[in-house]
Structure 1
Amino acid sequence: MNVRTYNPSVRVGNWNEDIQLEEDTLKDFLEKREKGELSSQKRSKLSQMLFKPVSLSISRDGCVHYGDVVVLQCLGAQDRTQYTNNGPRNTCNLAVTPQASNLLQLTKLEGTCDVSGSTSLEPNLRSSFVITGCEPYQAKGQKLCYGQDFFLCTMDGDGGNLYLQSDRATLEKSANRSRHQAVTFVPQPSALTKWRILYYDPRMRMENEGLPVPANSIVIISHMKTNHNLAVEENFVMRTPFGHREYEISANTYLDSHRAEKDVNRWMIMMGVPGDEIRPVVPDSQ
């Protein structure tokens, strides 16, 4: 017959140290919660900042200008019967995401950040960018033309003013899933952060060189140094630190049988149009 020599109220071993450790842990938890320093609180604050709505620039003449705030959008697959590994590709916006290792230390976008294709289409801090000139003569307000170089930057302030960059793929440095040329946002401009807009139809590309780029129209976004085009990797979906499943983005040119870029290389520079800034007046209820 087994006889219990003690019950749960009996203190054995280093009971005093265990109690003190529990009290210290609780005290530390309460202090961090009071200061908003818990990991869950930091993640929530950063998420609120990154998904904050942003108003796009209004294109009054139908063209894109240096200094405009825009969204880069790749339309979904035109032929919905052709399935990829992840089903038919949906429309997505280019979006920036802090790397997971830095996520909880950041209060704004900084350092090197990842890029993905978000299916959340509302303009926010993640998906809104500024067309920035590379040279002094490319002043704010001047029209961006086909073939001209430019920087694509995140917003100032919380956006960190980062630059879209790419470089040739190597064994040590490439996109995680597709292994194509990687695309990231970095703090400093360089020859690797210069891009240009090409006319979407290669048969008319030479004729349109030097003409203003129209807003809300299909274009090709080409990397100046490597000549590879910004692409949505429709067969490769990644999970962001926020729990969203988004498309991998790379710099890789996909050509069809006619030597024209496929729809994964086709982007629209989305801007507002006159009238977007006018909000309808809601009559008072009687």
Structure 2
Amino acid sequence: LGNMSARPLLCKQDRLRDFMHRRERGELLIQKIKKLQDNVLKKIQLSVSKDGFVHFGDTVMLLNPDNKSSLENYAGACGSLTLAINLDEISIYSAESLQAPCGVSAVESVDPVGRNTFCILSVDGGAAGEPIRFGQNFGLGTTGEFSDQMLYLASDHKSFTRFAKKSYLQQVFLTDELSYLTCWQATFLDPQLRLEYEGFPVP
């Protein structure tokens, strides 16, 4: 029979050794959360247009501007919103980087950070620096300021089994595969003039 009083001491030493080992490898939960915050909340410089148009390769935010008239009618409205990466609990606890598929949501923060900025990507051979045109396909990608793979903004038609959790409209999410779901187009705001503006650069 061993000394019973020595067992708790050995358990404490094992736990301490395990803690030190995990800390050295950056596997502690607090280290993972800090790394995640350092990346997704890192300040980003948005692209500034020199000719007044949006270009392939530009870094942009998708902003829904504040509409004062609708705010008066809807008590739950909260002003300007940007589209941002939605970090769920699983990714915070387990991920070293963003995992696909990854959700997106609207947030009140309008400061450009890794979480809410996207790069405009060519999907049909357009060169970086060329202006995007109305009716032309393009992609929106983000790494969340992690150094590994790009995730692409995608949307799919609503179905009985596939819809947004809160609005019950069509899903918008990030995926690691380029497909027709990740192709976006800019359309002119006035529906009466959309045909006339097809092919013109997007301001």
Residue in 1 that maps onto 2:120: 131
Q: Which has the higher strand share?
A: 1
How high is the TM-score relative to the length of structure 2?
0.87
| Structure 1: gaps of 5 or more residues | 1-13, 215-286
The corresponding residue for 1:51 is 41
Shift of 1:144: 0.5
For 2:124 and 2:116, the matched residues in 1 are separated by: 25
Q: 1:196 aligns with which of 182, 185, 188?
A: 185
Q: Does 1:115 align with 2:104?
A: yes
> Quick one: which amino acid aligns to residue 33 of structure 1?
R
**CA displacement 1:139-178 (0-9 Å, x = unmatched):** 2111111111111111485373111111112233211111
Q: Structure 1 stretches (4+) deviating beyond 6 angstroms?
A: none
* Pair 1:83–1:103, CA change in 2 (3 A): same
Partner residue, 1:152:
140
1:178-235 per-residue CA deviation (whole Å, 9 max, x = no partner) reads 1211111101100111111111222322222221111xxxxxxxxxxxxxxxxxxxxx
Q: Indicate conservation of the 8 Å contact 1:115/1:185, yes or no.
A: yes
Q: Counterpart amino acid of 1:134? A: V
Give the counterpart letter for 1:36 in structure 2: G
Identity within the alignment, %: 34
Q: Which moved more, 1:100-109 or 1:59-68?
A: 100-109
Contact 1:65 1:144 in 2 (8 A): yes
**Is the CA contact 1:128–1:154 (under 8 Å) kept in the aligned structure 2?**
yes
Report which of the two structures shows the higher radius of gyration computed on alpha carbons. 1
8 Å CA contact retained: 2:91, 2:98: no
Q: Name 1:104's counterpart in structure 2.
A: 93
More helix by share: 2
Q: Deviations over 1:95-130 (max 9, x none)?
A: 123443233333333421110112111111111111
CA contact (8 A) 1:110 1:160 kept: no
Partners of 1:64 and 1:16 lie apart in 2 by 69
TM-score by length of 1: 0.63
Q: Please tell me whether the aligned partners of residues 57 and 68 of structure 1 are also in contact (alpha carbons under 8 angstroms).
A: yes
RMSD between aligned residues: 2.2
* Partner deviation per Cα, 1:48-102 (whole Å, 9 max, x = no partner): 1111111112200000011111111111232231224xx2232111112344323
SS in 2 for 1:20: helix
Task: Work out the CA distance in 1 between the residues paired with 2:127 and 2:36.
Answer: 32
CA contact (8 A) 2:80 2:108 kept: yes
Quick one: distance in 2 between partners of 1:92 and 1:57?
Answer: 19
Unaligned runs of 5+ in 2: none
Taking the aligned partners of 1:157 and 1:44, their CA distance within structure 2 comes to: 13
What's 1:83 paired with? Answer: 74
